[in-house]
Structures are given as structure tokens and as C-alpha cells.
Chains A and B, each alone.
Chain A
């Protein structure tokens, strides 16, 4: 159990941070109570992890062969990267941190599945783009249906609130299905866990993060999105969930935050917003480059420290 603690910590922080991408808007605008969102979020994360988490776990465990010590180094390296970058208020993707750490260990081993790594990196580049494209499609499709419904103000309100809860639950499901690999895949690669136990432990730790520590992040991060109207918020959450689900089918863990940024840009394009925030784009690019690099260095450094030997008497 002790070697798993790094992974559980990573899962906990992932749940605490990324739940805001699916339920942040609903909670921060007081449309849904925190506890309703947290319990739905935790439940659906676990369901997603158990039902569809296997593909991502298979991809990450095959990136490089490693023993149990290296798996622990990987998860601690990724967790430390996420923690340090969060403390520095830099945007961070847990998926990229984990893959960075695996690549770091892979470099030490001299064995990396370049095909698998290429697929993962391509998917990272495609995440915001996927969010953008799905936001455009979902906005057009749902918007056409929505405009045809003869609803009064209260019915519109009910429809959007139910929509946000359903979309949030779906988002939580895809978060669990896609991101559980980040938490426990290395332990499957090291032969410590089978895929089902990895999905269960990973799902539970992400769920624990949501229930115990996501409130603050949901309330602050959600406010960034609530500036868009409720319908746009629904589109953003749905587009993000669909994007992440597509990458789940491909077996590649991606960043829900980057999918959200893409979806927000997509909604901005439909609504005719001309300017795209250079700062936001800069943050996305910085996360692409720095998170895996820092995490790889961190894993290598931890591995180096672990193998230091004290030779007395010289």
C-alpha cells in the first residue's frame, strides 16, 4: 500500500483541481449545491474509471518498462511537479506531468515506446483544438434545437440547470475514464496492480479529492466561466466532456483544462468575439512545453537521489 501513496496523492490533487472543469460553473453560480456536485462528481468519476479507464492505463504502462521503485519515483515526480507548478500559479496538466515523468524514467532506462509517445503528444496538441471544434458543433446543434422550443423563462431556467447537472456528470465520467491512467498506470506497468484494481484505486482517489478539497477551486475557477451565459457554459462543459471522451477511446490521457480552454474559444468564435486572449494561449503553450519537461527532470532527479549511496570510511 505504501508505494501507492504517491499515486493516491496525485489522484487526490487531480480530483481537487479538475472537478472545477466540470462542475465549477454550476457550483460557483449557486445553481447546484456543492455537495450535490461533489457526490455526483465523485460517483461518476469512479464509474468512468471502472468502465472505460483501462485503455489509458494500457497506453501509459506501455510507454516504458519499469520496476516498482521507478513507478513510485514516477508518481512522486509527477505529484511534486503538479504541486510546485500549482504553488507557482502556473497552469498544469496532470496527464502531461505523468507522461513527462514516465519519459524521464524511460530515458534513464534507454527504452521509450516512441510510437506510443508520439500518439500521446499529438493528442495533447489536439486537445484544445478538439474542445474548440466540439464547442462549435454542439453550440450550433443544441442552439438550433433550443431556439425552436416554445419555453417560458422558468422552463428555460430548469432546462439549463438540468443540462448543467447532466453535462457535469458526463464530464465527471469522462474525467474518471480518461485521467485515471495518470494516477495508477505506472503501478500496472510495474506489475503491482491489475487494470481493474488500478481503475478502482485511481477512481476512488480522484473521487476523494473532489469530495474533500475541490470546493475552493470550483468556486474560484468556475467564476471565470460564469461570465459566459448559462447556455454557453453548458456547451463548454459538454464540448470538453466529448473531447476528453474521444481521447478516452483512443486510450490517451489528456488535460481537461486544455479542453475547456479550447471549448471557451469555440463559444467565443460562435458569439463573434474577435479577440483571443494572448495570455490564455501563452499559458496553454507554456503548459505543453514546461510541464512534461519539468516532470521528466523531477523524476530523473528523484531517481538519482534514490540511488545515491553513502559509503562510509573513506
Chain B
């Protein structure tokens, strides 16, 4: 009966679905590119995967702008518009971190030393697990409703664990007698940027929780 009122809202819904799919694709290419480096040398498919990561990151920006235009042409309640825009902008920082990491590795020719590879893999594993959960949480907010709170605590735990791994790796880097100081600084910067993934996923997760709580009267 009221379907005519919600045409734009449905378009926003579809675009958000597309945006989340695109984030997943960005994550896939990023993971493959990083794995190539962790397995040996950053050659072969690394450049192609980096390019794909960049392409999907840009596509995410385009979809976000499309959503923004639609919402400000009177789709959704004003408070929902603000919440969705804030959330998209916060989420959008993560593909940016993926791209920055690959850019750092590619342009600064950073090679990850053998003695920290396991820890870096663990850091990435937990960071990406947080990222996956964050996407599920966002889907719960937009598609299903409920289930949000339980995911907040898991993401929060992952974030603490990632902080712990990050500190451990940095300590190992600076304790190494063989690495030269310049390389140590570059590696530290890389690890801190990797740590930003779980930090940002945690921020987004908390924001999703607040948006959901705000709707309880």
C-alpha cells in the first residue's frame, strides 16, 4: 500500500548490499596479495592483486557517493541518513588501510623477515576475522535485526588480541640484532598499519551497536 513511498529506500538498501559485497572483494584481493608476500617474494601476481584491491577500493567510494546522493534526495528519516553516512565513512577507512599496506610493501620494497612471519599471519588472521564479523554485524543492522551485541564483544576481544600481537612483533623487530635500523622503522610502520584494521573494525562495530541501541525507545 505504501510501496510508492519507499522506492528510494529500496535503492539505498540494494546499494548498501553492493557496497558490502565490494568490501568483501577488496578483502579477498588484499589477502591474496599479502599472502604472496608472506610466502616468499612480493612478485608475480602481487601487482595484479594490488591493482584489483585498488579498483575495488575506488568502486566502494563510488557506491558510497551514490548512496549519499540518494539519501540526501529525501530517502529515509533524517536521523537514519546521518547514521548510515557516518557508518559508511567509518567502514570506508578499512579498504583504504588495505590499499595503503599493499602500497607500502610495493613501493618501499618491504620484505617481511622470517622470524615474524607467523606472528604477522596471526595478526592478519585476527584482523580479518574482525573485519568479517564487522560486515556481518552491519548486515544484521540493515538486513536482519538482532545479533548485534554478541558480535561487539568478539570484535572487541579480537582487537585487544591484535594489540597484543602488534606489540609483540614490534618488540621482536627492535630486538633483532641483524635488521638495520632503517628497515626496523619501515617494518614498525607496516605492523602499526596492520593493527589499524582491527582498531577500525572495532570502532565501526561500536558505532553499529550505538545505532542499533538508539532505536530502542
Contact = CB atoms under 8 A, between A and B. Distances in A.
A binds B: yes
Interface in B1-39: 2, 5-6, 9, 12-13
B143 interface: yes
A153 interface: yes
A139 B217 contact: yes
Nearest to A31: B77
B145 A230 contact: no
Contacts of A230: 77, 79
Q: How large is the interface on B (under 10, 10 to 19, 20 to 34, 35 or more residues)?
A: 20 to 34
Interface in A134-186: 139, 143, 146-147, 150-158, 160-162, 165
A153 B12 CA distance: 12
Contact of B78 (A154, A155, A165, A226): A226
A189 to B, nearest CB: 42
A158 B75 CA distance: 11
A86 B146 CA distance: 49
A158 B145 contact: no
B70 interface: no
B211 interface: yes
Contact of A30 (B2, B78, B143, B216): B78
B141 interface: yes
B2 A155 contact: no
B217 A29 contact: no
Nearest to A29: B78
Interface string A246-268: 00000000000000000000000
A152 B143 contact: yes
A152 B77 contact: no
Nearest to A271: B217
A146 B217 CA distance: 8
B211 A153 contact: yes
Contact of A154 (B5, B9, B217): B9
Nearest to A143: B217
A158 B9 contact: yes
A30 B144 CA distance: 26
A97 to B, nearest CB: 35
A100 to B, nearest CB: 39
B145 A151 contact: yes
A140 to B, nearest CB: 10
B70 to A, nearest CB: 13
Nearest to A155: B145
Contacts of A154: 9, 12-13, 76, 142
Nearest to A166: B2
B77 A29 contact: yes
Interface residues of A, number: 26
A263 to B, nearest CB: 15
A231 interface: yes
A229 interface: yes
A119 B13 CA distance: 53
Contacts of B146: 150
A30 B74 contact: yes
Interface string A20-41: 0000000001111000000000
B9 A153 contact: no
B74 A152 contact: no
Contacts of A165: 2, 5
Contacts of B83: 153
Interface string B80-114: 10011000000000000000000000000000000
Interface string B187-208: 0000000000000000000000
B128 interface: no
B80 A157 contact: yes
A229 B79 contact: yes
Nearest to A142: B217
A152 B140 contact: yes
A152 B142 contact: yes
B192 to A, nearest CB: 33
A139 B217 CA distance: 9
Nearest to B138: A153
A153 B76 CA distance: 10
Nearest to B78: A29
27 contacts: A29-B78, A31-B74, A31-B77, A32-B5, A139-B217, A143-B217, A147-B217, A150-B144, A151-B145, A152-B140, A152-B142, A152-B144, A153-B83, A153-B141, A154-B9, A154-B12, A154-B142, A156-B215, A157-B9, A157-B76, A157-B77, A160-B77, A162-B5, A165-B5, A226-B78, A229-B79, A229-B217
Q: Which 7 A-B pairs have the closest CB atoms?
A: A152-B145, A143-B217, A30-B74, A150-B145, A230-B77, A29-B78, A231-B217
